[in-house]
Amino acid sequence: MRRALITGIAGQDGSYLAEHLVAEGVEVHGTVRPDGRDALWRLAGVQGQLALHPLDLLDGPAVAALVRQISPDECYHLTGTRKPLADAREEAQLLEGALGTTHALLSAVHQVRPRAGFFFAASSEMFGPDAPSPQDEAAPLDPRTIYAIAKAAGMQLVRLYREEKGLRACSGILFNHESPRRGAEFVTRKITMGAACIKLGLVNELRLGDLAARRDWGHARSFASAMRLMVHREQPEDLVLATGQTHCVRDFAEVAFAHLGLDYRQFVVEDPGIPRPSRAGLVGNPARAQAVLGWRDEIPFRRLVEEMTDVDLKRAQTELSARRTNGPPAAGGEG
């Protein structure tokens, strides 16, 4: 039986990838934070079929020891997720993870299983504002944020191990990809949660930043399938994973609210005081991935938004039902 190691298995991408691998009969191992702060709800469907390893990914020797213990046939390094407003400590961890953790994983995999496949989750944010559009694998890198710098450094390490050491290592240059498992701090989930809460009468409005901001939004489930395809190639290469289409925040809101029978214009307030990342509306060119993998994100934008909205409506209904059952907190209770 093939064995796979996924760092960040409890995240959006890791959970979908774990489901793909389990369905294909792979023995799946994943790292989780030792402090127990990972939200394991994303793994509910397969949690009994996984081996989870609490691990500090900034501990290089511990990372190497885990690789030696598992001896994986394929390794997916998915940690280092962008946060809209990361603090200095989180930015430092991004840099340490992209360099130290990625190097520890690559080195250990190369020593233990030199023919193993290795995938690194890079990001479209590595492209600068002057990159030609659409961005493909040849577009110049010009990272302008700590997150983008970290991802660019990690991708260069992967390239080094592929070209100089012969490891079957590759990076996926991931454009925006969403799902019902996306973190609640991202604008896409703010929209679908906001629409659901307004539908149920829990709130009266949704305040958003720049409604004209454009993104190339795909579905995380599709992107996870591409990761496995990339790892299985005998001649690995770095590939752009994207839809090749952009939509603005206004489009996202319009679809989500309309799916619930609402007109977003009656509830959405564009608030210039809400900070938005100062980056261009990047759009990826997935032609190379389609040519060498036979892959494309076949989940339409509308279906993605509607799926997210349906799930958040159910979440909001469950929360509302719990409130009605339990009643308001008792006066004088613990604060």
d(CA 214, CA 216): 7
* 326 CA to centre of own chain: 35
CB 277 within 8 A of CB 84: yes
> Which residues does residue 148 pair with via DSSP β-bridges, in sequence order?
none
Distance CA 305, CA 307 (A): 5
Residue 334 designated active-site: no
In the set 19, 125, 178, 254, the catalytic residue is 125
CA pseudo-torsion sign 230, 99, 80, 44 = positive
- d(Cα 314, Cα 123) in Å, to the nearest integer? 31
Active site residue 147: yes
Of the candidates 15, 74, 107, 123, the residue annotated as catalytic is 123
Q: Which residues contact 106 (CB under 8 A, 6 or more apart)?
A: 118, 157, 158, 161, 167, 169
144 conformational bin, left if phi > 0, alpha if psi -120 to 50, beta if neither: alpha
How far are the Cα atoms of 59, 244, 251 from residue 247, in angstroms, in the given order? 40, 10, 6
Q: Which residue shows structure tokens 């934008």?
A: 301
Catalytic-labelled residue, pool 16, 76, 147, 161: 147
Known catalytic residue: 133? no
Please provide the DSSP assignment of 281-297 as one string.
Answer: ---B--HHHHHHH----
Beta strand residue intervals within 175-246, DSSP E: 177-178, 206-208, 214-215, 218-219, 239-241
Q: Output the CA torsion 133→139→142→146 (10° steps).
A: 90
Helix 146-165 vs helix 102-112: crossing angle, to nearest 10? 20
Q: Is 133 left (phi over 0), alpha (psi -120 to 50) or beta?
A: beta
Residue positions annotated with a catalytic role: 123, 125, 147
